[in-house]
């Protein structure tokens, strides 16, 4: 559901993001969320794709999505179409992919009404709700997911039981997830145990990395299963008053809040 006060995102300030550099045409279509890479190869081979106005039949053609114009079936896509950044309050039950082989509903069903291609920046698993960013800007997507960017992501997790001070400190210092996989230090604090949810405690966990199902795995390793998980903030950008299933476009300059701490 689109919010009535949505506005178009403006261009990023010069130098705010690193150049994406050239990637293959098929990979670009996949990264932009247009289709899978295999499907992109078929579309290119059948003449459905143009680069800078010329029909292109090679999926290996190197392009820069921030500079080259790409059209699919006459429709302009990519960074050259103007940067677009969207935030969605992802509901529980949606998978973060365009098409799910198992037929499960995807996050794109929540973006009905959007008339431009966007791809998700990172993922939230099916059972996790909260802030999910979409964009058509490959440079922005790369920087947000680059482990060296250390962009903080804030989660509220309801865990089984009541973690003691020693357990909270263990989460802060880093958790061994097995096979030598050690998490970075995190900010962790207890938010309390609401009377309406007996037997559980809400924690706030701030990570600067994005390992697969990281919060769930961290809490499980210290003996407290995650019962409910919501991502509430990326950088200084939060969900605001978005309800589950609602989305909005970011105003000009608002995307830079993703990189502030």
241 is catalytic: no
Per-residue CA distances from 200 to 37, 149, 163, 203, 216 (Å): 43, 33, 9, 10, 15
d(CA 118, CA 2): 15
Taking the mean position of all CA atoms in its chain, how far away is CA 130? 10
Q: What is the number of alpha carbons within 13 Å of residue 176 lying toward its C-beta? A: 3
Q: 6, 64, 100, 125: which one is catalytic?
A: 125
Label residue 133 left, alpha or beta by phi (over 0 means left) and psi (-120 to 50 means alpha). Answer: beta
How many C-beta neighbours within 10 Å does residue 261 have? 9
The two three-digit tokens of residue 157, written as one number:
């997790």
Which residue numbers are catalytic? 125
């Amino acid at each position: 559901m689109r919010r009535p006060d949505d506005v178009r995102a403006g261009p990023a300030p010069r130098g705010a993001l690193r150049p994406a550099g050239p990637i293959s045409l098929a990979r670009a279509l996949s990264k932009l969320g247009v289709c899978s890479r295999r499907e992109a190869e078929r579309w290119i081979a059948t003449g459905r794709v143009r680069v800078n106005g010329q029909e292109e039949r090679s999926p290996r053609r190197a392009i820069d999505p921030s500079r080259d114009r790409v059209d699919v079936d006459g429709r302009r896509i990519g960074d050259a179409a103007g940067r677009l950044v969207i935030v969605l309050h992802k509901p529980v039950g949606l998978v973060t992919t365009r098409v799910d082989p198992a037929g499960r509903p995807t996050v794109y069903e929540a973006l009905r009404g959007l008339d431009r291609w966007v791809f998700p920046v990172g993922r939230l698993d099916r059972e996790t709700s909260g802030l999910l960013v979409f964009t058509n800007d490959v440079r922005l997507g790369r920087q947000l997911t680059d482990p060296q960017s250390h962009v903080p992501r804030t989660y509220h997790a309801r865990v089984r039981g009541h973690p003691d001070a020693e357990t909270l400190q263990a989460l802060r210092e880093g958790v061994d997830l097995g096979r030598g996989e050690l998490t970075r230090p995190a900010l962790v604090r207890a938010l309390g145990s609401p009377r309406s949810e007996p037997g559980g405690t809400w924690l706030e966990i701030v990570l600067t990395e994005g390992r697969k199902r990281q919060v769930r795995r961290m809490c499980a390793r210290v003996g407290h299963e995650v019962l409910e998980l919501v991502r509430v903030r990326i950088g200084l950008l939060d969900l605001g008053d978005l309800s589950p299933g609602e989305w909005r476009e970011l105003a000009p300059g608002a995307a830079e809040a993703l990189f502030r701490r």
